[in-house]
Amino acid sequence: MDFGGRDELGLDGAELRGEVEAMSITRRDFLALPLFPALARAAAPVKGKVKITAIHAMAIQNIAGNCLIRVDTDAGISGYGEAGATGPMARARIKTMEPHLIGKDPLAIELHFHNLTTLMHTYMAHIPTISGIDIALWDLAGKLLDRPVNVLLGGPFRDAIPMYSHGRELDMLDKGSCRAWAQKIKAAPEGFSTFKIGIDQTLGVPSARYAATLTGQQIRNVAKAYMNVREAVGGEIDIAVHCHNEPDTPSAIAIAKAIEPMDPLFLEDPINVPHHEGWSSLKRSTRVPILTGEKLEMVRGFKPFLDTQSCDIIHPDLAFCGGITGARKIADYAYQFRTPVALHNVGSIVLTYASAHFGSAIHNFYRSESALGRPTRHVERMLKGAPPAVANSQLRVPVEAGLGLNLDLDYLRSQLVKDEPFFPG
């Protein structure tokens, strides 16, 4: 830009330079920009007017060892989250975090996330408990500002999110069992078109424990089992292969080779959790998409997988990885690699709706797991009124303020884990 003479607006060089500098943003200013500008704009008029008064945790049955979190305020409004921790574990950790939260503005979510996740003394930050608090703060922010969470996150990119479910109560080595299961899932009202099915029963190994190097017969059983499922469901249902990090590297490579003719959607958690050269070896050896991440925390957990491109899809759990704020940072990092983000979730309706809002608000979203559609309807019964809107394998994102929850507290009380206290008040 020429700063000599006067421009068409009548400004001389010095005046024009001053105008440009006034409009410029320094590196320091850029780094200080909020990660969530929609939240910052909406929260500005009520900044400092509401205070956090209490944080509670309670565990209910059959939500994968998670617990529910409630954050209360002096405005009489509470937010709900879900933590990847037991009730006693979360309550003990909350005690160490209360000095950073009680009496503070609940809308300062980025500040709270920083302060909590960087704790080192006397105890290192417990990310699963922080995750539940963070989700509750987002729910609370939506209620205080009368906006859905996905809008405060800057979305939505989509009004409904694709879902996947689980292959349960079938023997994959029995073709008749596979055919009966296929008929049942195709008749279900949710219309799920994607299922992942655990490999442990077919392998004959304990779930989520290191297994010895697999034998040739075990690998042949895997190939037969998943091909039986493919033949039963046909081409309109996607099937994923679900490990829990049991195999070693050569076994994982053999599994990937065995299932490839079945055209699996992805192979989940085929090696132990930490990143190592085995992940890259597996990725180079197969065309089957590799998915992992349900037990990884923060960007630091996913960074080596993304930097080395040793998985195809990342799979954080909002209740474990850092809540909505942590997952957004993870998704933004993955976006630089054009890596899709799926969400792990076998938790409650709180985690299910949090996952829906998050999945709606990021561009590189793939699909979310859930425990919806099971015969007990345990997750659906946690709500009063209308159940979650699931059709054609898509979950409609709630449009009400916050996460859109209308919890049935009587049902939750009936489902408490033994000796758990119910939320006070």
Q: At what angle do helices 175-187 and 216-233 cross, to 10 degrees?
A: 40
pLDDT at 201: 96
Count the domains in the chain: 2
Q: What is the mean pLDDT of the chain?
A: 93
184-226 pLDDT per residue, tens? 999 999 999 999 999 999 999 999 999 999 999 999 999 999 9
pLDDT band with cut points at 50, 70 and 90 for residue 312: very high
* pLDDT classification of 34: cutoffs 50, 70, 90: confident
- DSSP letter assigned to residue 12: B
Residue 166 lies in a domain: yes
Over the stretch 347-356, which tens digit does the pLDDT of each residue have?
A: 999 999 999 9
Q: Which amino acid is at 256?
A: A
Inter-residue contact 291 to 252 (CB < 8 Å): no
The two three-digit tokens of residue 170, written as one number: 């079938």
Q: What is the DSSP letter of 44?
A: G
Residues 232 and 175 in one domain: yes
- 27 within a domain of the structure (yes/no): no
CATH code for the domain in which residue 263 is found: 3.20.20.120
Structure tokens belonging to residue 49: 């007017």
The pLDDT value given to residue 425: 83
**Max CA pair span of the chain:** 87
Domain match, 70 and 202 both: no
What percent of the chain lies above the pLDDT cut of 70?
92
Inside any domain, residue 420? no
Show which of 124, 147, 170 is a domain's final residue.
147
| Per-residue pLDDT at 17 exceeds 80 | no
Verify that 156 and 142 share a domain, yes or no.
Answer: no
Is residue 142 located within the same domain as residue 164? no
Query: If you search the block for the tokens 């080596």, which residue do you land on?
Result: 304
Confidence label for 4 from pLDDT (cuts 50, 70 and 90): very low
Residue 9 has pLDDT above 50, yes or no: no
> Residues 6 or more apart from 286 whose CB is under 8 A from it?
253, 256, 257, 260, 267
Q: Which of 34, 31, 47 is nearest to 154 (CA)?
A: 34
Give 362-403 pLDDT, tens digit per residue.
999 999 999 999 999 999 999 999 999 999 999 999 999 999
Task: Report if residue 418 sits inside a domain.
Answer: no
| Residue percentage of the chain with pLDDT more than 90 | 91
Summarize the confidence of residues 231-247 as an average pLDDT. 97
Contact 208, 244 (CB under 8 A): yes
13-17, 271-275, 388-392 — which is least confidently predicted? 13-17
- Residues 141, 167, single domain; the answer is no
Q: How confident is the model at residue 27 (pLDDT cuts 50, 70, 90)?
A: low
Q: Is residue 411 part of a domain?
A: no
The first and second tokens of residue 81, run together, are: 């989250």
Identify the domain boundary among 147, 181, 213.
147
Res 20 pLDDT > 50: no
Give SS3 for 303: helix
Average pLDDT value for residue range 85-94: 98
Provide the 3-class DSSP secondary structure of residue 264.
Answer: coil
pTM for this prediction: 0.92
Pair 124, 227 in one domain: no
Query: Stretch 29-41: mean pLDDT, rounded?
Result: 79
Pair 97, 174 in one domain: no
**Is pLDDT at 358 greater than 80 in this prediction?**
yes
Q: Answer whether residue 233 is part of any domain.
A: yes
From residue 152, give the alpha-carbon distance in Å to each of 42, 132, 145, 260, 350: 8, 18, 9, 41, 17
81 and 62 in a common domain: yes
Yes or no: say if 314 and 99 are a contact pair by the CB < 8 Å rule.
Answer: no
The range of the structural domain enclosing residue 74 comes to 47-147
First to last CA, the chain: 64
Domain membership flag for residue 416: no
25: pLDDT strictly greater than 70: no
Tokens of 105: 């503005």
Neighbour count for residue 408 (Cβ, 10 Å): 17
- Measured distance CA(51)–CA(104) in Å, rounded: 5
The mean pLDDT value for 283-299 works out to 98
The answer on 119 and 214 residing in a single domain is: no
Query: 21, exposed or middle or buried, with CB in 10 Å at 0-12, 13-18, 19+?
Result: exposed
Same domain, 252 and 317: yes
* 60, 90: one domain: yes
What is the arithmetic mean of pLDDT over 49-66?
Answer: 97
CATH number at residue 105: 3.30.390.10
Residue 117 scores a pLDDT above 70: yes
Flag whether 187 is in a domain.
yes
Task: Say if residue 2's pLDDT is above 70.
Answer: no
Burial class (CB in 10 A: 0-12, 13-18, 19+), 140: buried
pLDDT tens per residue across span 253-263: 999 999 999 99
List of residues 6+ apart from 388 with CB closer than 8 A: 349, 352, 353, 372, 379, 380, 395, 396
Backbone angles phi, psi at 174, to 5 degrees: -110, 115
Q: Mean pLDDT, to the nearest integer, of 104-120?
A: 97
Contact 254/214 with Cβ under 8 angstroms?
yes
Handedness of CA 107, 297, 397, 422 (dihedral sign): negative
Give 369 or 3, the one with higher predicted confidence.
369
Is the separation of the CB atoms in 179 and 232 below 8 Å?
yes
CB 75 within 8 A of CB 144: yes
Handedness of CA 190, 196, 198, 203 (dihedral sign): positive
pLDDT beyond 70 at 75 = yes
* 132 and 172 housed in the same domain: no
